[in-house]
A and B are shown apart, each in its own frame.
Chain A
Amino acid sequence: MTSPLMEDAGLLPPSRRISLLRLLARDPSAMVALVWIFVLALVLVANVWFLQAYSVRVDLKLRNAPPFTLDNGWIYYLGADSLGRSMIARLAAAAGPSLGVAFAAVGFSLVCGAILGLVAGWMSGPVGTLILRVADMIQGFPTFLLALVVLYIFGPSVVNLVIVLGITRMPAYVRVARAEVLEIRERLFIDASRVLGASPWWMVRQHVLPIVAPTLLTIASVNLAMVMLIESGLSFIGLGIQPPAASWGLMVAQGRGYLSNAWWLACFPGLAIMFTTIAFNLLSSWFRMATDPQQRWRLEL
């Protein structure tokens, strides 16, 4: 849907590329989202640097220590969990797995979905039909239920989680890529390319992919928050990331038993999930608007 402008996205002169960044500065909500992503990046660095040690340090004197007090040092400012581990350090340690699974799953579904979609569109024979039918079946079935059954069968591990989440989100990429290829395939420049003796692989790479890619990237940006929510839900149920590894969804589950006497155990990791998904969603709607010629003016005002 955004292809007309996107077509020349690769041909933009440098000055217009910078203006894309300026557009970002003009959208306050996108800026806030970017700041949160930046904070997360800092947290990831801090985790590797020194926080990791605190996230496993058990201090039974500080069991369920309340938040918002500096009495126990700043590292316990957000309180401590049921084993007296610093909440700040635990949240930081969980950021990596939570974000990593989301990015890996979206990347996986983007790449595989694009390839399958291109194949389905380019070769509209039985292979294309089969790919489309399977995609329909996956899309029609409730995502969470599907992920649940498959994860149970193959065992909950990070790799399986990424594969399952990737596959359940794949149909959207397949259908969009296929639909665009079907349309592009009939255009004049493809005929010209074919007459000049280009191989199918070359035509797909040089002519089709640059047009399809931006649309697929838009879907990927929308999916990022969605995949993160599904992952946290699966981890909450106990079929996602497994202890001793940490994930925000898992932390909510661990805090569930202390709801009445230590609300912060379940509340803070949920807030972390929410802030991150909000940031992803805001950035993705900014991206959509900035790359859509019919919407772009809203940001250029």
Chain B
Amino acid sequence: MSFTYVLRRVAQSIAALLALMVVVFVLVRATGSPVNLYLPLDAPQALRDEMTIKLGLDQPIYVQFWNWLVDAVQLDLGMSLWQGRPAIDVVLSALPNTLMLGLVVLTISSLLAILIGSLAAFRPNGHFDRFAGLVSLAGASIPDFWLALMGILLFAVTLGWLPTSGSGDIRYWVLPVTVMVMRPLGTLVQVVRGSMISALAAPYVKTARAKGAPERRVIFVHALRNGLLPAITVAGDLAAQLAGGVTVVEVVFGWPGIGKLMIDAILNRDFAVLQAGILCVAAVIVTLNILVDIAYAAIDPRIQIQR
């Protein structure tokens, strides 16, 4: 059952990726030819034609797409006009930076959310619940690029404790991670709190208490296992958003991730990198979605994946 399901999901995802790439392919070519950007204004027409032909831009768009697709299957996503090396290399050197950052951010915010959310659910309307509410409000309200700038102003410019931008040892991670944790944390806290409130009211929690299980065990073992299920779905969605890179934060901190790369590719009209970037991000997201579905079924035996 499970195997055919996975196969079908993969097939569906590949169809979706193809559809996405057709749209991107057409849209990207609607922005104008890179020839005009890379050749000087007074370049002779012959030179322009030569470059157009060399890039294959003179052919009908469906021929261009077919050629691109045949190459893409062989993991050749074209050359980056701007950096003069294969587009896939450019994208694959940026993608890990974003994924690492996203992974750290998601891990930290999940752990914090589980802790804060569970404690808030333990006593609704108590002090801790108010704090949880405040965290969520902050996450949904503070502009991240502004918080990043204020962080740089305070900790890098004024106090000089942390570097302003770039990537390297752990000190370069502190500000970007802190800024980026805020939003997923705010969302996850509310999800964990909500599902924990209903989990703590469930009969099996009463049973556990009646058996004399210590309160800490009741909250963090009995209730949490069931309370976590909705959080996993939401975390999956958040992971998909993070996989695209939190572009503004990457730009502010000069983080060499996929978000910043896409901005640079856009500014330099680098078709190949833009296409490769979108394809890779979409592929990561599709994989994540399938993994979340499988994880969901693995954790909750009640869920039978539909054939």
Contacts and interface: CB of A to CB of B under 8 A. Distances in A.
Contact of B262 (A149, A229, A267): A149
Interface residues of A, number: 36
Contact of A259 (B149, B246, B259): B149
B100 interface: no
A277 B144 CA distance: 12
Closest 3 interchain pairs by CB? A142-B244, A270-B146, A277-B141
Contacts of B245: 142, 145
Interface residues of chain B: helix, strand, loop or mixed (majority): helix
A225 B281 contact: no
B90 interface: no
B146 A266 contact: yes
B31 A152 contact: yes
Nearest to B145: A236
Contacts of B232: none
A149 B143 contact: no
A256 to B, nearest CB: 6
A282 B136 CA distance: 11
25 contacts: A133-B16, A140-B240, A142-B240, A142-B285, A144-B259, A145-B244, A145-B245, A149-B278, A153-B30, A232-B143, A232-B146, A233-B248, A237-B251, A252-B145, A259-B153, A260-B157, A263-B153, A270-B143, A270-B149, A274-B146, A277-B142, A278-B137, A278-B141, A281-B140, A281-B141
Interface of A: 133, 137, 140-145, 148-150, 152-153, 225-226, 229, 232-233, 236-237, 249, 252, 256, 259-260, 263, 266-267, 269-270, 273-274, 277-278, 281-282
A237 to B, nearest CB: 6
Given A137-B19, A153-B30, A256-B149, A274 B143 contact: yes
A237 B143 contact: no
A236 B145 CA distance: 8
Give the bracket for the number of chain B residues in contact with chain A.
35 or more
Contact of A141 (B146, B150, B157, B244): B244
Interface string B128-169: 000000000100111111110110110001000000000000
B52 interface: no
Contacts of A143: 241
A226 B142 CA distance: 10
B27 A140 contact: no
Contacts of A270: 143, 146-147, 149-150
Given A148-B266, A237-B248, A252-B145, 19 more contacts: A141-B281, A142-B281, A145-B262, A152-B266, A153-B31, A225-B140, A232-B143, A232-B145, A236-B248, A266-B149, A266-B150, A267-B150, A270-B147, A270-B149, A270-B150, A273-B143, A274-B142, A274-B146, A282-B137
